[in-house]
Amino acid sequence: MATPITEPVSCDPTRTKPLQDRVAIVTGSSRGIGREIAIHLASLGARVVVNYTSSSSQADSVVAQINSAADSPPRAVAVKADVSNPDDVKSLFDAAERAFDSEVHILVNSAGILDGTYPTVANTDVETFDKIFAVNTRGAFLCCREATNRVKRGGGGRIVLLTTSLVGALRPGYATYTASKAAVETMAKIVAKELKGTGITANCVAPGPIATEMFFEGKSEELVQKLKNDIPLGRLGEPNDVANLVGFLVSDGGEWVNGQVIRVNGGFV
């Protein structure tokens, strides 16, 4: 029997990474899923803007982790911006261009909030509704609008908006949060068509139950276990499960995926 011929593994340290020197803005990336996405994109060669809204300490920690592993730092900077504020969003893109002297190639909008008391519609106050839609829907719109005008055209331009698999699961207690994300999914599909001819793709990534602070907020151990049992793989997702998918979508290999909502939930929905 002939011995199969195998290709040698390349150990060339100068080999170009998939996102080498592309500039990526990741909103809400000081913690949770956004944090993991920022770190993963940096590992693929991207120069990353780590966006935060309030405390800078967590964002600075992410930046330090990325830059400590970089061959030629700085590969990451922290920028404060409220995604629900149009002036802040414009300043976020301005800061990215100044920091890396380049157009922005990638926007990943990961910023999002929910009400950890999980009220029914009957018990949801207008202030909470407006707050959730301001960040989740208005924020996604403002970031997406800025990206459609400023992300690099002609190839490599990527827009990824994080939504939720709850749009498919439709669980009680999540009506406002789910509705705020469903609107984003519709917008992304239309944006993908509006960007025809630019080479920019627009997609949504819709996580299921992911082990983050936001997921655990307000949930009992019994509820967490029940949700875990509802997942065919028998575990909660980890932030890197989402980050790996985002990394593919924003790379050249993900170019043919456009105008889609991709659920990453272990079979939960």
Distance CA 46, CA 76 (A): 9
DSSP letter for 122, please.
G
- Residue 174 has a pLDDT of 97
Residue 251 in tokens: 């790379």
Examine residue 269 and state whether it is found in any structural domain, yes or no. no
For residue 204, give the H/E element and its range.
strand 201-207
> Is the distance from CB of 139 to CB of 130 less than 8 angstroms?
no
Examine residue 145 and state whether it is found in any structural domain, yes or no. yes
Query: Residue 63 CA to chain centroid, in angstroms?
Result: 17
Q: What 3-state DSSP class applies to 150?
A: helix
Examine residue 74 and say whether the peptide bond preceding it is cis (omega within 30 degrees of 0).
Answer: yes
- Which one of 52, 118, 174, 177 is the catalytic residue? 177
Report CA Rg, the chain. 19
Examine residue 207 and state whether it is found in any structural domain, yes or no. yes
Domain holding 162, by residue range, is: 23-264
- Residue 71 has a pLDDT of 78
Distance CA 33, CA 39 (A): 10
Examine residue 17 and state whether it is found in any structural domain, yes or no. no
Residue 131 in tokens: 């707050």
177 is a catalytic site residue:
yes
- Residue 11 has a pLDDT of 44
Examine residue 106 and state whether it is found in any structural domain, yes or no. yes
- Taking only the tens of pLDDT, the chain with its 269 residues reads 444 444 444 444 556 899 999 999 999 999 999 999 999 999 999 999 999 998 899 999 999 999 998 777 789 999 999 999 999 999 999 999 999 999 999 999 999 999 999 999 999 999 999 999 999 999 999 999 999 999 999 999 999 999 999 999 999 999 999 999 999 999 999 999 999 999 999 999 999 999 999 999 999 999 999 999 999 999 999 999 999 999 999 999 999 999 999 999 999 99
HSE (side-chain half, CA atoms, 13 Å) at 100: 26
Examine residue 90 and state whether it is found in any structural domain, yes or no. yes
User: Rounded to the nearest 10 degrees, how much is the dihedral formed by the CA atoms of 50, 55, 61, 66?
Assistant: 0
Residue 31 in tokens: 């913690």
Sign of the C-alpha dihedral computed for residues 185, 187, 193 and 197 taken in this order: negative
User: Residue 183 is which amino acid?
Assistant: A
What residues does 226 pair with on adjacent strands?
A: none
> Is the distance from CB of 59 to CB of 30 less than 8 angstroms?
yes
* CATH (domain of 115): 3.40.50.720
DSSP letter for 69, please.
T
Examine residue 6 and state whether it is found in any structural domain, yes or no. no
Examine residue 140 and state whether it is found in any structural domain, yes or no. yes
Q: How many domains, in total, are found in the chain?
A: 1
Contacts of 109 (CB under 8 A, 6+ apart): 27, 28, 83, 139, 140, 143, 144, 159, 160, 161, 162
